[in-house]
Structure 1
Amino acid sequence: MPSDTVTLAQRQSLRYLLDSVRGSNAFYRRKLDGIDFEPDAGDLALLPFTTRAELQKDQEAHPPYGTNLTEPVEDYRRFHQTSGTHGRPMRWLDTPDSWQALTDCWCTIFTAAGVGASDRILFPFSFGPFLGFWVAFDGASRLGAMVIPAGGTSTLGRLQMIAENAVTVVCCTPTYALHMAEVAAGHGIDLAASTVKSLIVAGEPGGNIPEVRAKIEKAWGARLFDHHGMTEVGPVSFECHEKPGGLHINEEHYLAEVIDPSTLQAVPDGTPGELVLTTLLRKASPLIRYRTGDQVILTRGKCACGRYYARLEGGILGRVDDMFTVRGNNVFPSAVEAILRRFDEVAEFRLTVFDRGPLAAVQLEVEPVSATIDARSLCEKVSRTIHDELHFKAGVTPVEVGSLPRFEMKAKRFVRK
């Protein structure tokens, strides 16, 4: 659809959404009380933001699910909850209609990556309460693909499942894709010669960090596709086959804005800011102008793939609250990871920031791939590169091989003290 048609469809969906929540959703009935807003052409700034903090407060005041429910609780069939990385976990419910909308999003993610009914898709993680596992699995089933759950087994066991079942697509975090490659190399398994043609990654910014992407694609001999979403919002974005290096917002389902997190005012397209989302078709448990905390650069126009959907250049650049400042330099952890991934001698790392106002101190632990590596020389090279490119000094120290944790889900390499 051309962009004006997309906008028209969004505004129509927004009207339906607002009519629904004003009628039966206690949370948004309170928030929207007294606000005069015309959905077809009104300024979105007239609608209030929704924040994670107020959703958490609402669930604490009205346990267990809060009041952001448009239908009677008996009509909900799906329960999920957030990871709690940024506070107390939030519980989230979906009706069959809302769940259908979410699986529609995953069908778009898969088809944009060239995945279809002939594929065999491996899900190498233990299914927990997070939404992403389940909705991706159901979306793949709707496409007619073979879906292979690989929870409850080791990384080596999952690699064997890939070989034995001629798996063509793997869904995981960028961190776990790298860890699987590390384990494969340690057991003499040539991943690049496997049947896997594509990896769809999410959960971290790594999929659109060029150095991370290059390392994964080289190890697997396969194309990487990035994606991002959240339990409370759903599967938001996808990477098209024709133009890597960015994420399309699925604008049939999401209305996207970008604001300055300090002034809360909209920023021009192409300017960094915080992503704000309205879930247009998940009416049973909606979010209106939800501040995601994700730092993005949004652009518009026709993509090489033919879509007019808004595009996040470079994907998710980082979390607004993860940015740290060292002697006037604003730095995201993803910028440090981009440097680390250039060094083939680095197996894993951990970044600790000691907040002391403008004099924040940065400590970086680096684990080499082998005990034969000159760890001291490696750390000196890493420190020098960080200073040259990010303009601050980090204390870089080596740690023993195998001593840093490995992650199946979201990596926790960034520590703030």
Structure 2
Amino acid sequence: MIGPQKSSRERIEAGQLGSLQQLLSCLVRSNRYYAPILEKAGLDGSIGSLQDFTSRMPFTTKHDMARDQQENPPFGTNLTYPLEKYVRFHQTSATTGSPMRWLDTAESWEGLIANWEQIFLAAGVNAADRILFTFSFGPFLGFWCGFDAACRLGCLCIPAGGMSSLARINLLIESGATVLCCTPTYALRLAEVAAEEAVDLSASKIRLLIVAGEPGGSIPSTRARIESAWSGARVFDHHGMTEVGPVSFESPHHPCVLHVIESSYLAEVIHPETGEPALEGQTGELVLTTLNRHGSPLLRYRTGDLVCPVWSGEDLYGRTEVALVGGIIGRVDEMVVIRGVNVCPSSIEGVIRSFSEVGEYRVEVHGGTSMPEMRVVIEADGWDDAIQGVAESIEKQFRLAFNLRIPVSVAPKGALPRSEMKSRRWIIENTGTNHA
């Protein structure tokens, strides 16, 4: 007798369970970090379901990994194989502390490249494309992995590290690049430089901007601003982390919705304060288990990324993978409560980028944790009497969006810093902390 056909969601979870069982079997035998944790949780044998795993396995945090590497330098104990088997070294950007170092075997690296290939293919990249990478190739994983994946697809890959913004603009025009990989902020910065130097970006062949590193790619107003500046080229968002690799890609037919690559990641979304599962459609913290990165795995890793999940996304978005509506909304440690209202970077940017007169901006939070206050500094694309009216209009939009009075002041053009990497626009003055 033939049983009922499994739904697409059931097939995904069955595949994840098989991959998870293989991973745990491997870690129990030879991973010095996770073996004792799995044994204590009673997960050193076989598991019957994903629920069995998520209900018994404790979370892993960035603090856990950083402490392990500090106590067991230089790479920590989260290594499943002898050191000689590892061929790739990367590290995090250390925006919130000491950098974490990450090693990959040749097999793990192949898996990460395959994930990046999925991102490119979902974006519509093909072998005829010429891809310009604006990044300086430091120790961060994403650039190297994306470059290798693009080479694997047969694209002409153009590195543009160590160059000025104007030199990069000239290179992308002269090389006939069709795809640009950068952060959302840097896409706007390149357009700004092009305008300053009287370079017509419509002369370029850029048809696609693949962005990550900040929420901007899934903020409609920021996205529209980028596409307008680049003569209608399409923005395609995705996200990843050095600790886990390339995680998600934009829904091909639904802008501002990301899909997790669930063949490589077991995703959960939890309430940041309680650790309990978040409801569908409720903003929570993304938790990931790397299913195929056996050499340096992470089990139930609290990413710190805020997302809004839709698990039954096939009917809405045409794909079975979990959908993250609005992409990466922000970071748990960037969420600020102002007079009882939760305010995150993406919501502030969504308002500001709807005003084309604004070039760059900065958010300042001061007053301590008991009664914090926020103010915003904007920089005009030009300088005239009208910009003060724009500042007042932004204040009104803030009141409508958050029911808060957030003062907005104006800085001269060029006064605020620019970056080709993640921007540091949020200044928490009571701690001296900078946030993206």
Q: Which amino acid aligns with 1:415?
A: I
RMSD: 1.4
Q: Deviations over 1:330-389 (max 9, x none)?
A: 100211111111111111011011143452111211111112353332222222221222
Deviation at 1:240, TM superposition (A): 2.7
Could you list the per-position Cα deviations for residues 214-255 of structure 1 after superposition, in whole angstroms to 9, with x for gaps in the alignment?
A: 101111121111011100010000013222221000000000
CA offsets, 1:56-76, max 9 Å, x none? 000000000000000111111
Task: String of CA shifts for 1:289-337, please: whole Å, max 9, x gaps.
Answer: 0000111111123167743111101101110110101111110021111
Name whichever of 38-47 and 138-147 sits farther off.
38-47
3-state SS of paired residue (1:235): strand
Change (3 A) 1:86 1:56: same
Residue 283 of structure 1: aligned partner = 294
Contact between 1:271 and 1:297, CA under 8 Å: does it hold in 2? yes
- Greater shift, 334-343 or 183-192, is seen at 183-192
Q: Which residue number in structure 2 is paired with residue 249 of structure 1?
A: 260
Map of 1:388-399 to 2, 5 A cutoff?
388-399=400-411
Question: How far is the alpha carbon of 1:3 from its aligned partner?
Answer: 1.6
CA contact (8 A) 2:27 2:35 kept: yes
Matched with 2:432 is none
Runs of 4+ in 1 over 6 A off after TM superposition: none
Are the counterparts in 2 of residues 269 and 298 from structure 1 also a CA contact under 8 Å?
Answer: yes
Task: Give the counterpart letter for 2:180 in structure 1.
Answer: V
Which whole-Å CA distance do the structure 2 matches of 1:257 and 1:161 have between them?
42
- The count of residues paired between Structure 1 and Structure 2 equals 417
Q: Which of 140, 157, 160 is matched with 1:150 structurally?
A: 160
Match status 1:89 vs 2:99:
yes
Identify which range, 170-179 or 393-402, moves more after superposition.
393-402
Gaps of 5+ in 2: 1-6, 430-436
Aligned partners of 1:272 and 1:304: how far apart in 2?
Answer: 18
CA distance in 2 between counterparts of 1:373 and 1:203 reads 35
Match of 1:127 in 2: 137
1:31 aligns with 2:31: no
Once the two structures are superposed, the pairs formed by residues 318-357 of structure 1 within 5 Å of their partners are 318-357=330-369
Aligned residue identity for 1:317: I
Residue 308 of structure 2: aligned partner: 297
What is the match of residue 172 of structure 2? 162
The structure 1 residue matched to 2:90, chosen from 80, 83, 87, is 80
Contact persistence 2:363–2:377 (CA under 8 A): yes
Q: Find the partner of 1:375 among 371, 379, 387.
A: 387
Which structure 2 residues correspond to residues 156-305 of structure 1 after superposition, within 5 A?
Answer: 156-220=166-230, 221-301=232-312, 302=314
Give 1:4's match in structure 2, choosing from 4, 10, 30.
Answer: 10
- TM-score, normalising length from structure 2? 0.93
Please give the secondary structure, in 2, of the residue aligned with 1:312: strand
Measured in 2, the distance between the counterparts of 1:200 and 1:402 equals 26
Structure 1 stretches of 5 or more lacking a match? Answer: none
Q: Secondary structure at the match of 2:427?
A: strand
Is 1:413 matched up with 2:425?
A: yes
Between the aligned partners of 1:388 and 1:222, the Cα distance in structure 2 is 31
State whether residues 32 and 48 of structure 1, in contact with CA within 8 Å, keep that contact through their aligned partners in structure 2. no
* Partner Cα distance (2:255, 2:388) in 1: 36
Amino acid at match of 1:9: G
- 1:20 — aligned with what? 26
Letter aligned with residue 312 of structure 1 = L
In the superposition, the TM-score normalised over structure 1's length comes to: 0.97
Letter in 2 for 1:98: S
8 Å Cα contact 2:173/2:203 also seen in 1: no
Contact residue 215 and residue 330 of structure 2 kept, 8 A: yes
Task: Give the conservation status (yes or no) of the 8 Å contact 1:345–1:373.
Answer: no
